[in-house]
Amino acid sequence: MPNIEQFMRRIDGLQQRHRPLAFVYAVIRKYGQDSASTWALLIAYYGFASLFPLLLVAVTVTGIIFAHNPTLSHRISTTVFAQIPVIGSELGSKAGVHALNANSPITLIVGILGTLWGSQGIASSAQQAMATVWNVPMTDRPGFLPRTLRNFGILAILAINVLVTSSIATFTATLGGHEFSKILLIIATILVNLVLYVAGFRLLAPKTIPTKDLLPGALMAGIAWSALEQLGGFLIGHELAHTSATYGIFGLVLGLITWLGLTATVTLYAAEVNVVHVRKLWPRSLIQPPLTAADKTAIIALAKVQRYRREQEITVTFEDPSDPKDPSTQPGSTLSDE
């Protein structure tokens, strides 16, 4: 056992001395401490539950905007469905998603608002996940009305992203299947996704965080999501193509949830990159004791999350490792919320 511990401490010293390794480990460590994988699963689940209502709204709004050009409306709708892996082609068929009845404006508005209200699950879970990643205390989290407005803001950002990327894909398709058009589509998609993540992170991150500090994670997420759109859906669809006959619709659902889970995981890792970068949460210790300054900062932030009342006071202390019986607090290791 001592040999194993010595080996692990050498590895720990190596990663702490090299900034890139320390930063990567700090992101992974914080992702685990925040239980972000659980939030990624919740986002995937609610994303699947919200997918069809949101597609219904997307098809309806697209039909209204491009009512003067039904051919273009059909192309954009088909492109929207094509962005969804595994079942996108089926949804785009004649038996797929149809628009809401637009004959009655009042009925249409009520239908769209009702559908959006029922689709808040993905936005709400994403909002809670980001609050957890940034370790926002319970007392500082928004109430019902601000939270609902944020949910609609998230849905609006997603809708704009889908509409813009679908329009770009439709436009590049008119240029033919040349390499130039494919490269143009990839670059444009990455830029749009980057803007999407900057807007989303800005909406959900604490207001005290400058927007420029959100760019590293947004850049990472924009590129990763674009890659998932291009490769993830193909790989998952290819793997499930041979099993669909055996597992039927269950295999398709599993593939779609897997893709949504990957997307949520990438997004939360990107958010963790921003938090670690802003708060300088590296290097983190692989073997404790001793705790690094970044370890203490992260632990204190986790404790602050549990503050439910303004009059509540939370204090965090760390014992001196050289004297386990001495409860004295080391410098910088106490948190007191007045």
Over residues 183-203, the pLDDT tens digits come to: 887 888 889 889 999 999 999
Token pair of 137 as six digits = 């205390």
Does residue 305 contact residue 136 with C-beta atoms inside 8 Å?
Answer: yes
Q: pTM score, two decimals?
A: 0.82
Share of the chain above pLDDT 70, in %: 74
Report pLDDT for 336: 42
Taking residues 157-174, what's their average pLDDT? 77
Report pLDDT for 54: 75
pLDDT at 282 over 60: yes
Taking residues 101-121, what's their average pLDDT? 70
Q: With bands split at pLDDT 50, 70 and 90, how would you rate the model's confidence at 125?
A: very high
Q: What values do phi and psi take at 18, rounded to 5?
A: -110, 115
pLDDT at 273 over 90: yes
155 CB neighbour count, 10 Å cutoff: 18
Taking residues 72-101, what's their average pLDDT? 59
177 CB neighbour count, 10 Å cutoff: 8
* Spans of all domains in the chain: 36-265
Residue 93 CB partners (closer than 8 Å, separation 6+): none
Report pLDDT for 86: 56
Taking residues 250-255, what's their average pLDDT? 71
- Pairing between strand 315-316 and 335-336? antiparallel
Nearest to 169 by CA among 259, 82, 231, 60: 82
Amino acid at 11: I
Q: Residue 335: beta bridge partners? A: 316
Report pLDDT for 168: 77
In the chain the first and final C-alpha atoms are separated, in Å, by: 45
Q: With bands split at pLDDT 50, 70 and 90, how would you rate the model's confidence at 322?
A: low
Which residue is it, tokens 């709708």? Answer: 77
The whole-chain average pLDDT of the chain stands at 80
Nearest to 36 by CA among 135, 123, 121, 120: 135
Report pLDDT for 254: 76
190 CB neighbour count, 10 Å cutoff: 17
Does residue 270 contact residue 15 with C-beta atoms inside 8 Å?
Answer: no
On the question of a cis peptide bond just before residue 324, with omega within 30 degrees of 0, the verdict is no
Report pLDDT for 95: 46
pLDDT at 149 over 60: yes
Report pLDDT for 1: 52
Most confident of 74-78, 109-113, 151-155, 214-218: 214-218
d(CA 142, CA 212): 23
Report pLDDT for 218: 94
More confident residue, 117 or 107: 117
pLDDT at 92 over 60: no
Report pLDDT for 171: 72
pLDDT at 167 over 50: yes
Least confident of 51-65, 133-147, 191-205: 51-65
Amino acid at 1: M
Most confident of 42-56, 175-189, 191-205: 191-205
